[in-house]
Amino acid sequence: RNITPMHPSKKILFAFLLVSVAAFSSCPVWANSTPSSLPAVPPQQSAAAIPLEIENQDALRVEVQEISGDVSAAKGAILHSGDTIKTGKGSCRLLIDGKAKVLLTPHTNLKISEAIRDTQAKTDSTVLMLDSGNLKIELPKLKKGSRFEVNTPTAIATVRGTIFYIQTGTTQGQASTKLYVDESKGGVGFKNLFSGQSLIVPAFSLSNALANGNLDKPVQLTDEQKEAFFEAWKQFFGSSGASQQF
C-alpha cells in the first residue's frame, strides 16, 4: 500500500501539537488554588492567605466551598477571596493573618469577599459577606490605610479594632442585622444598605439595621441586659457541643 508523504507544513503543525500536549500534561494542579476568584490586584499587591482553623474537632459539619467545588474543611486549611464557609451543627474559627479572630456559630454562611494585602503600602483589605448566621469577631487595631468590613443582606459594619458580635435574622417580620459592640475605643461604623443611614456604635452598645430602612439608635446595655445578650448568644449553639470560645 502506498503512503502519501506528509507535507512539510503539516509535519511542523503535528510536531507543535505534540509539544503542546506534553507541556499541558506536565502542569501541576493545586488543590486549594482559586486564581479565578481573586479580584484584580495591581502588580505591587498580593492576595493575603487566610488560614481556616476548625474550632471544634468532632464530626460536626463544616464545609468550604471553593470555585472548584465543595471540599472538606480541615484545621489549617487555606481560604482565598471568593471562598465560602458553611457550618452545619458545628462552629468554626477563622484566624486572619494570625491576628483577627472570627468565630462562626452553627448554621452560618460566610463568604470571603476580599482578602488583599498591599505589600508596598503594607496595608490589608478584608471584606466578609455574612449571608446568614452569626459571627463574633476580635480584631486588633488596624494600621492606618487598612480596612475590615462585614457585609450582611441589610447592613455594613466597618471596624478599626474591637470585639463585636453581628447577627442576621428577622425583627418584626423584617430581615435585620443586629450589631453589639463589646469592647472598642472608637466604636464600629454601621450603615443600613436600604436607607443609607449610618452611625457609630460605641462600646457596650447594641443597634439594629432593618430591611425597611430603619437603623436603630445605639443603646448602651446595662449589666443585666449584657448578661441576657450573652445568654441568647449561647442559644445559637444549642446542645450540639460546638465550641463557643476563641
- What pLDDT is recorded for position 169? 93
Taking only the tens place, the pLDDT of each residue in 93-130 is 888 877 888 888 888 999 989 888 887 878 888 999 99
Question: What pLDDT band is residue 66 in, cutting at 50, 70 and 90?
Answer: low
Q: Are 7 and 14 in contact (CB under 8 A)?
A: no
> Once rounded to an integer, what is the mean pLDDT over residues 62-70?
57
Taking only the tens place, the pLDDT of each residue in 21-44 is 333 332 222 223 333 344 454 444
CA–CA separation, 48 and 39 (whole Å):
12
- What pLDDT is recorded for position 235? 85
Strand order in the sheet with 77-79: 77-79, 50-53, 92-96, 100-104, 134-139, 162-171, 174-184, 205-210, 219-220
Taking only the tens place, the pLDDT of each residue in 153-208 is 999 999 988 999 999 999 989 999 999 999 888 899 999 999 999 999 999 999 99
